[in-house]
Amino acid sequence: MSAKQRRVSLKSSTRTLLPGAHKIGPADAAEQIRLTVRVRRGSRPGEFPSDAELGSGLPAQRNYLTREEFGAKHGARAEDIAAIRTFAAENGLEIVSVEAARRTVMLSGTVEDFSKAFGAELHHYSFQGRTYRCRTGVLEIPAELESVIEGILGLDNRPQAQTHFRRRIRATAVDVSFTALQVAQAYNFPGGADGSGQAIAILELGGGYRVQDLTTYFSNIGLATPTVSAISVDGGSNSPTGSADGPDGEVELDIEVAGAIASGAKIGVYFAPNTDQGFIDALTTAVHDTNLRPSIVSISWGGPENSWTAQARNTLNSACQDAATMGVTVLVASGDQGATDGSANGALTVDFPSSSPYVIGCGGTKLSLTGKFIRSEQVWNELAQNEGATGGGVSEVFAIPAFQSSANVPAAPNAFRGRGVPDVAADADPASGYDVLVDGESTVIGGTSAVAPLWAGLLARINQLIGKPAGYLNPLLYSANVAATFHDITSGNNGGYAAGPRWDPCTGLGTPNGADLLAALKSS
């Protein structure tokens, strides 16, 4: 492949300036960096299962691909890997690793080498007191690789996502808090199961957990500490900051909620840098992990759809679609800043990756109990108290999927007929938040960050009781008999949309009745 051959723009690679950032100067040409190159599936058109095939049948009736079978059927083609190797050699780049099942090639080189190889200009920008390497415009690749490369990630290391947890700022006389077990009891999670034999992957883009915190927390609620392992991705690590207000609050909330519901499950925490490269590499590492083999992935990080490049969105969405073929359910928090998702101009928008049609978007409610039972439940909206609100709305990127065709999803703000977010909900209001232990401090945390791991624990119990992973659940959730098991939330709004009967852009189908959901997933 000659360097003089025709070059083309990599589709969907356009990147804009980081809003509010200040340009410092050119990036260090000699800096060594690593890039992730994602390539197309090895299967030919028509060979990859359709959405209808992925979502058909009850969980017990489904036949999923093993990770090894996926790699053989749909992993990167040998000739595509060879083409990337040739391109790397011609441009003075080093091949660090090749993982065909993940469709991932990791390249190493200098900023100067990569800038020349992909026609990119890299500069340093300051943003919120930190400095990042950023690019603008499109990336260029040889025309011969146009159909091969799905995404090139890592040139730009700006922060991609934010946490979706809300620590209670100040308690009022009417505020309450619950353990995850109390919430599970209110939602009638099925008994006789603790997630044994299951594995849950939790993605984290910063912070960490302390083993002593977990030991103390689970002892306090009368449970053995689950088996938790920290898994490094792209140099990320379990690095507690010492502050419950920072990402440690996210990490320990996720582990403690999922672990309380499914104490018998193995929990893998995949730590990666907070970049689009780190996010996607963490997901693909978890989905294709042949050691832990998680059947559930819980994600409590995200950002507005338009804060992602199209290539990053498409690549992550494709990875979630891959997960469906292997029976892996992906759960994603829908955001904590209401219907605008914190957009600078106040426009209505949804959070990604909760807007991917291959994940279960998780919204939030405010829960009130009488004893062990639900007294009332409404949409979480504490915007007036600066304590957030559930994210939800309509995608301006992903078309409305078949499973939502009868859900009366409204048009997106740009009139696009898009995918509705969220799909499901659970308690998330800090005013009815979760009792957790973070960095040695007992505190109360809410946010849709709590909903994704809560549902992860529920599905771990369901998977154990069914004897097979639930996998790609979205089409089943919207089927009449399964949708009827939810507590329909009809009161409240998220600052842009109002709750109403059946599905709505605040709490989706509603909150679970776990035992009824299990029964519906077991019967036709």
Is residue 3's pLDDT more than 70? no
Tokens standing for residue 299? 């994600």
Tokens standing for residue 424? 């499901």
Q: What's the predicted TM-score (pTM) here?
A: 0.97
| Contacting residues for 87 by C-beta, under 8 A, at least 6 apart | 1, 93, 117, 141, 142, 145
Domain boundaries, the chain: 7-40+76-153, 162-522
Is residue 524's pLDDT more than 70? no
Helix axes 276-287, 310-325, angle to 10 degrees: 10
Q: Which positions are catalytic?
A: 250, 254, 449
Cα gap 353→376, rounded to integer Å: 30
Q: Over the stretch 283-330, which tens digit does the pLDDT of each residue have?
A: 999 999 999 999 999 999 999 999 999 999 999 999 999 999 999 999
| Nearest C-alpha neighbor of 319 from the set 523, 115, 150 | 150
Is residue 487's pLDDT more than 70? yes
- Note the pLDDT of residue 172: 84
- Note the pLDDT of residue 170: 79
DSSP per-residue string spanning 297-366:
EEE-EEEEGGGS-HHHHHHHHHHHHHHHHTT-EEEEE--SBGGGTT-TT-----EETTT-TTSEEEEEEE
| Nearest C-alpha neighbor of 180 from the set 207, 146, 220, 152 | 220
- Note the pLDDT of residue 18: 85
**Backbone phi and psi for residue 260, each to the nearest 5 degrees, phi listed first:** -65, -40
Q: Which element (helix H / strand E) includes 278?
A: helix 276-287
C-alpha torsion sign, points 430, 431, 435, 438? positive
| Residue range 162-522, CATH number | 3.40.50.200
Is residue 502's pLDDT more than 60? yes
Q: What is the DSSP letter of 151?
A: E
Q: What's the whole-number mean pLDDT along residues 402-422?
A: 97
**Backbone phi and psi for residue 487, each to the nearest 5 degrees, phi listed first:** -80, 115
Is residue 28's pLDDT more than 60? yes
Q: Over the stretch 242-263, which tens digit does the pLDDT of each residue have?
A: 999 999 999 999 999 999 999 9
Q: What's the whole-number mean pLDDT along residues 221-239?
A: 98
C-alpha dist (Å) from residue 317 to 150, 391, 398, 502: 11, 19, 10, 26
